[in-house]
Structures are given as structure tokens and as C-alpha cells.
Amino acid sequence: MFVLPAFVVFSLIVMFSIVWVFIIGFTDWNGFSQMNFIGLKNYVDMFTADRNYWGIVTNTLVYTIYELFLQVGGGLLVAIFLTRITRGRAGLQTLYYIPVIVSTVALCQIFTMLLSVTPPGVVNSLLGLFNSDFLYEEWISNPTRSLAVAAFVEGYKYFGLYMVIFYAALIAVPKELTEAAIIDGASAFRQYAQVKLPYIMPVIISNFILVLNGSMRSFDVSFLLTKGGPGNSSQLLAPYMYKQAFSSMKYGYGSAVSMTIIILCVGIGLLLQKYLLGRAEEY
């Protein structure tokens, strides 16, 4: 009974929205005209006639891999580093967490200035001291780098959040386990590899799933920093859905794109959760 109010609110807000999007995905609604049922046409066009769709799906998957390395891997490494030091720990924790609370708009503006070409930003100016060719190096407007740059900015913003979670989990590892490993002669590396990390494996899996789902439907950083360009080189599924629904006024087609985002998030999330939980039970 305690969870009933939350379940009712969740069902009304989330489930109703998903069902509504699912229904609109079978229509040619443009937001104003009458809805006409067109069956699977939106999905057939998306999978077979849309020349941009599969490239954007690939971008989203690559972007997700970047985020898993940056947010989960980076957050875990920094958390381990913080557990190994005794001086300046609180200051470093605050420093690493600041990007989490900074507005995404402000952060993208900062990186736009840092990576500026005309006039040269801080990054190009520093690199230009070693090689003058870097002085006019394009980062945001280079189609081979724009996706990686957007992924780096989002990873930089959120890795501090997962660092805090990993740090809290690591300091909660019972001291008896660590002391037993030390008595057995385990090195610092083996203490983490064979004791601490297996102990916090459920936390690692939870963060892995959270980052995975967040990255698959990522919107703000790529939209604000690169606007999906140049061309569609850094376009992701969520901004593409937005453009189709609200810029091109193709609500039916945009809803079909939305359904693929939901299916990818749920499908890949469940598969990875099943795989990772199976691996966790082996420890």
C-alpha cells in the first residue's frame, strides 16, 4: 500500500506518455491536422528510406560507449584515487563535483570558448606553444571530432556524480576484508581487484545501467554544443526525434523515433543487466 501512490503517479505520467507516443507513431499527425492511421509506414520509412537514421543510431551507440568509459570508468578511477590519499581529499571531491551542479548551458558555453578557433581559445593557444598547426585546429566543427568532443563534455559534467557514489561504496567495504587481504600479502592492486571491486559490483552495475540509459537518450550537450553537426556527424537520437517532431512538425514520425529510443534503452539495459548480474554472482 505504501508504494501505491507512487505507482499510480508513475503509471499516469510515464506509462500514459509511452502509450500515447506509441499510438501517434502509427499516424501522420503534424500537430494540427486530423490524425490519419498509416500503419507501419513511419517505421518502414525510418528503417529503409531515412538516409540519416542508421548513422544517427551508430552515433548514439558510439556516444554511449564514450560515456561508459568516461563516467563509469573515470568516476571509479578517481574514487579509488581519493580512497588512497589522506590530504586534500575533501577539496578534490568538491572540485570534481562542481561540473555536476554547473548549468549545462553555461558548461557548453565555457567549452565553446575554450575550444574556439577565432580567436584561438585556451586549448589551441596552449597546444600552439608546441606546434603552431594546433593554433587553428577545429574541434567542435570538425566532423571527425565533434561527437567525441560532445561526449567528453558530457562525461566531464557527470563523472563527478558517479565518483561520489563509487567513493561512498568503497569506504563502506568492511575493514575486516581488507585487513584479511593484507595479512595474506595482497598488494594494493589485488586488494581492489579481488576484494573491494567485487564487493561493490552491484553499485558498479547500477551505475553502468544508469549511464547507459542516460547516454542513449542524451539530448542537451550535443544539441547545445554542436547542434548535431557538422552535418549529422554528432547527431543523436533524442535531438533527431525533437527536430522531426517539433521543427519539421512530423509528430507521427518523431514518435516512431521515440519508440526506437525506448526499445533500445529497455532492450540493451535488460540484456546488460542480465549479463552483468550473472557475472556478479560468479564473484
Nearest to 248 by CA among 236, 239, 235, 261: 239
Q: What is the pLDDT of residue 136?
A: 83
Q: What is the pLDDT of residue 280?
A: 62
Tens of pLDDT, residue by residue over 240-282, are: 999 998 888 899 999 999 999 999 888 888 888 787 777 666 6
Q: Cα separation of 136 and 14, whole Å?
A: 47
Q: 179-205 burial, b if ≥16 CB within 10 A, otherwise e?
A: eebeeeebeeeebbeebbbebbbebbb
Split at pLDDT 50, 70, 90, the class of 132 is: confident
What is the predicted pLDDT for the residue at 279?
67
Is the confidence at residue 43, as pLDDT, over 90?
A: yes
What is residue 117's predicted lDDT score, i.e. its pLDDT? 85
Which neighbouring-strand residues pair with 37?
A: 27
pLDDT for the residue 282: 63
Residue 26: predicted pLDDT:
93
Q: What mean pLDDT do residues 160-169 have?
A: 94
CB atoms inside a 10 Å sphere around CB 94: 10
pTM score, two decimals? 0.89
Q: What's the pLDDT tens digit per position in 185-220?
A: 888 888 988 889 989 988 998 899 899 989 988 999
Q: Residue 65's pLDDT is what?
A: 94
Q: Tens digits of per-residue pLDDT, 62-116?
A: 999 999 999 999 999 999 999 988 888 888 888 999 999 999 999 999 999 999 8
Instruction: Give the pLDDT score at 60.
Output: 94
Helices (H), 25-143: 41-44, 53-67, 74-84, 89-101, 104-114, 122-128
Residues 6+ apart with CB under 8 A from 156: 70, 99, 107
Residue 89: burial class (beta carbons within 10 Å; 0-12, 13-18, 19+): middle
Q: What b-and-e string marks burial along 236-270, b requiring 16 or more CB atoms within 10 Å of the CB?
A: bbbbbbbbbbeeeebbbbbbbbbbbbeebbeebbe
Share the mean pLDDT of the chain: 89
148 alpha-carbon distance from chain centroid: 12
pLDDT given at position 281: 64
